[in-house]
Amino acid sequence: LDPSEAQFRAIFMSLSAKMKLACSGEVIDYLIEKHYKGANRGLRFCHPRDLLRQIANFCSFHETRGEVTRENVDAAVRNYFAAIAVAQ
């Protein structure tokens, strides 16, 4: 069973706080609209954790503030889903 959009948002916000990554509802809206609905991709319970790990690594590598932004969401999605697509 996959998460509802509300569950996905709640998990994403909870994990971002635990990982000390600033995150707004706006950027989650962007993620869902562009990278899930726009790509006809299903929500999965593991995605918030996996994407936030990618984002944390992006921030660390680029020595930027720990914040979820459109830029690092795009990078995380590119990295994460490209790796999954190759593995299939």
Q: Beta partners for 67?
A: 22
Find the CATH number of the domain harbouring 79: 1.10.8
Q: Across the chain, how many H-helices and E-strands are there? A: 4, 0
DSSP line for 46-71 = THHHHHHHHHHHHHHHTT--SB--HH
Q: pLDDT at position 86, please? A: 54
pLDDT digits (tens, 9 = 90+) for 41-68: 999 999 999 999 999 999 999 999 999 9
- Count the domains in the chain: 1
pTM, 2 dp: 0.90
User: Which structural domain range is residue 71 located in?
Assistant: 5-87
Q: Which residues contact 11 (CB under 8 A, 6 or more apart)?
A: 3, 45, 48, 49
Reading the block at residue 81, the tokens are 């889903």
